[in-house]
Amino acid sequence: MKAKLGMSPIAWWNDDLVELSDDVSLEECLRQSRSAGFTGMEKGRRFPDDPAVMLPILRAADVTLCGGWFSGTLVDEDIAINKARIAPMIELFKAVGAPCIVYGEVGRSIQGDRARPLATKPKLSEDEMKAYARTVTDFGEWCAEQGMPLAYHHHMAAVVETEPELDAFMNASGAGIPLLLDAGHLAFAGGDVLRAIDNHHGRISHVHVKDVRMAVIDALDRTRQSFLDAVALGAFTVPGDGSLDFRAIVQKFADHGYEGWFVVEAEQDPRKNPPLRMAQVGHKELMAVMTAAGYTVETQGYPQ
């Protein structure tokens, strides 16, 4: 089985917490992640939106674009509005050969609002979840028809956060909307990562190998502290530096025949946790557990 290892630039620059950002150029971010062994990088705010500009940067760094976040609002806004907003991103991702766009629901979400405690996260009724899942499926099918599949990202502080919410969404949605399984977000939400892989492996097309520090999460006052507070306190980290058993997680993916990207997405304070050093820790851990699970990790970066 083949696998590819990527990173998210959120370890270098945080889109929601400026104080958790390093003054590092895109080129230096790519150089550091590539030197640690990663061959892909998801899109961040310092990436150009013009493929003619982006491709030479990726080529020089020997890195491929392995995904990127789209802030969807389908829980509240019309599908046509979302189609218009994602259309330029689809064309960009097709031009640079990205495998998918990560759909993250921000409608009603409190993930970017530091004044909103975790306990106030939005919740959908059973009927609302069914209607939402059908809409997201239609949107995913349309994006795939345009030549760029989506991968749905369950997320803390959003309408699909907990394992029961993920199960409900998956049961009501269709194959037109593949799943991004994020180990860290599911563990933060109190879910069972291995069970979720068992339940939904047939739809998983993209993986975020985010680790967590459970001591930080367990100490949170969810009636008072927000998702961004948790991030600032160090709730997330790279594999090999946190509480999750990635040997078991990666083995579970292998058991179900998953092949594709495993992306380290670990937002934390770059002064306390230098991104290059953390990238090296994460890559070393992943190589060990992936080799043990029988994966061959691809080493080619930018397509030759």
CA distance 33 to 270: 14
- Taking every pair of Cα atoms in the chain, the longest distance, rounded to a whole number of angstroms, is 52
Nearest to 168 by CA among 176, 160, 180, 158: 160
DSSP codes, 182-207:
EHHHHHHTT--HHHHHHHHGGGEEEE
The pLDDT of residue 115 is 97
Using the CB atoms, write b or e for 174-199: b if 16+ within 10 Å: eebbbbbbbbbbbbbbebebbebbee
pLDDT band of 301, cuts 50, 70, 90: very high
Each residue's pLDDT tens digit, 74-97: 999 999 999 999 999 999 999 999
Each residue's pLDDT tens digit, 141-175: 999 999 999 999 999 999 999 999 999 999 999 99
Say whether 237 sits in a helix, a strand or coil.
strand
- What letter does residue 2 receive in the DSSP assignment? E
CA distance 78 to 92: 23
Encoding tokens for residue 130? Answer: 């069914």
Share of the chain above pLDDT 70, in %: 100
Q: Give the list of residues 6+ apart from residue 78 with CB closer than 8 angstroms, or none.
A: none
- Tell the burial category of 95 from Cβ atoms under 10 Å away from its Cβ (0-12, 13-18, 19+): middle
pLDDT band of 15, cuts 50, 70, 90: confident
Match 């499926």 to its residue by tokens. Answer: 137
